[in-house]
Amino acid sequence: MASPYRWSAFLACILASIGSAQTLREAADHAGVLIGTAVRPSQFSETRYASVLAREFNMVEPEDALKWWVLRPDRRTYDFRAGDEVVHFAQTHQMKVRGHCLVWGRDNPDWLAKGHFTSRQLSHLLRDHISRVMKHYAGEVFAWDVVNEALDESGKPRDSIWYDQPGIGFAGKGTEYIEQLFRWAHKADPHALLFYNEAEGETLNRKSDAIYAMVKNFKKSGVPIDGVGLQMHISTDIDVESMTAAVSANIARLAALGVQIHVTELDVSVRVDSSGVASLDDLNRQAEVYRGVVRACLQNPGCTAIQTWGFTDKYSWIRSHSRGTRGQALFFDRDYQPKPSYRAVRDELSRDRLLKH
C-alpha cells in the first residue's frame, strides 16, 4: 500500500498541475488534443477578439471564408482573400487551420445553384474547385471537410445539386459520389487529412449508423478518408450522462475503423430572455454539457480535436437562427469574459492529462 507521504505528494502534484493550465490552449496542448474555433476574419481587427483567439486556441477554421459563396463570386473567379487572412492569422500565432468545406448541397451561390448545369458540367466544376482550392492551401490547411452534411436523418443521401439534382453522374447510386469526391481531394493534396463532416450524427442514431457504414465501406474499398467530423450543435435540454456515453460509444466505433474523429462545430445553446440573457443555473448546466463532450472525446485517442463554432457570444449564429429564443452558446460572453463553460473545459482537459500520467 502507498505511504501517506506518497499520497500527499501525488495530490500536491495534481493540484499544482491543475492550477498550471492558464488557458484552454495550454490545457489542450498537455492533453494532446487540438482546441479550435470557427473564426470570422472580418473580426481580426477587433483587438479583444484577436487576443483571446490567439491566447486560447491552437486551431482555427474559417466559419464561412472557404465556402463557395465567399470563394466563388462567379463561375470564373476564385477569391482567396478572406481564407488567406485566416491562414495568415494562424501562422502568426502558431495555430493549425482546418478547411471547411469543399462540397455542400446548401448555401451555394445563385450562379451555381440556379445555373441549370448538366451533370458533366457540374462534375468538371466541382473537380476544378476541389483541385484549385486544395492546391492553393496545400501545406497550410492540414485537414479538410471534403463533404458536409450529405446524409438525411434516416441516413440516406440528401437530394442535392451534387448528388441527384442533377448530380455529378452518380444519381441513385448512394454514397458513390462521395467516394469520388474523396478521391479527387486526395489527388489534389495527398498530404491533407480528409474528413466527412455531419450534423446530428454524434450519438447513436440512424444517421450515425449510416456514417459508420459508409466509412467502413470506404475503408474496405480503399477510399482515402481520414476522419469524421461530429458537428455537435447541441443544447442544455439533454441528459448529460447519456449523451456522454452515446457520443463516446460512437467515437469508439468510428475510431476502431481507423479514422480520426474531430468535434467540429461544438456549441451548447441555452434559453435566453428577450434581452439575450440566460440564467446562471442554465450557464452552469451548459458547463456540464461541455464537460461531457470533452470527456467523451478524451476517452478515445482517436478523437484528436475539439472545436467550437465561435468563441464569444458576441458573434454566434445561434441567436438569429433561433429567432432570439436561444443564445449564449460559447465560452466567452459578449465582453469576452470567460463563462462557467470555459472553466469546465479547461479543468476537464487538465484532468485528463493527469490521469494519463
CB of residue 67 to ligand 9MR, shortest distance in Å: 5
What stretches of the chain adopt beta strand conformation (E)?
34-39, 59-62, 96-104, 141-148, 193-198, 227-230, 233-235, 260-271, 303-308, 326-327
Window 136-155: contact mask with ligand 9MR (x via CB under 6 A): ------------x-------
- Nearer CB in complex with ligand 9MR: 30/319: 319
Q: For the residues of 254-316, what is the DSSP string, one character each?
A: HHTTT-EEEEEEEEEEEE--TTS---HHHHHHHHHHHHHHHHHHHTSTTEEEEEES-SBTTS-
Of 59-67, 91-99, 156-164, 269-277: span binding ligand 9MR (CB under 6 A): 59-67
Rounded to the nearest 10°, the torsion over CA 171, 175, 178, 182 is -140
DSSP state of 64: S
Of 63-71, 203-211, 217-225, 324-332: span binding ligand 9MR (CB under 6 A): 63-71
- Nearer CB in complex with ligand 9MR: 21/263: 263
Q: Does 189 bind ligand 9MR (CB under 6 A)?
A: no
**Alpha carbon distance 115, 288 (integer Å):** 47
Of 61-69, 80-88, 131-139, 212-220: span binding ligand 9MR (CB under 6 A): 61-69
Among 231, 304, 341, 350, binds ligand 9MR (CB under 6 A): 231
User: Based on the number of CB atoms within 10 Å of its own CB, is 264 exposed (0-12), middle (13-18) or buried (19 or more)?
Assistant: buried
Of 9-17, 62-70, 185-193, 236-244: span binding ligand 9MR (CB under 6 A): 62-70
Among 199, 204, 249, 354, binds ligand 9MR (CB under 6 A): 199
Q: Does 64 bind ligand 9MR (CB under 6 A)?
A: yes
User: Rounded to a whole number, what is the distance in angstroms from the first to the last CA of the chain?
Assistant: 19
Q: Does 267 bind ligand 9MR (CB under 6 A)?
A: no
CB of residue 107 to ligand 9MR, shortest distance in Å: 4
265 tagged catalytic: yes
> Are the beta carbons of 171 and 164 closer than 8 angstroms?
yes
- 226 C-beta neighbours (distance < 10 Å), count: 17
CB of residue 105 to ligand 9MR, shortest distance in Å: 11
Q: Is the peptide bond between 166 and the residue preceding it cis, with omega within 30 degrees of 0? A: yes
Q: Does 308 bind ligand 9MR (CB under 6 A)?
A: no
Q: Is residue 11 left, alpha or beta, with left meaning phi > 0 and alpha meaning psi from -120 to 50? A: alpha
> Are the beta carbons of 44 and 85 closer than 8 angstroms?
yes
> Are the beta carbons of 224 and 191 closer than 8 angstroms?
no
Residues with Cβ < 8 Å from 12, sequence gap 6 or more? none
75-114 residues in contact with ligand 9MR (CB under 6 A) are 107
Q: Does 63 bind ligand 9MR (CB under 6 A)?
A: yes
Of 60-68, 179-187, 216-224, 294-302: span binding ligand 9MR (CB under 6 A): 60-68
Active-site hit among 56, 61, 63, 149:
149
The site for ligand 9MR (CB under 6 A) is made up of 63-64, 67, 107, 148, 199, 231, 265, 317
Indicate which residues carry an active-site annotation.
149, 265
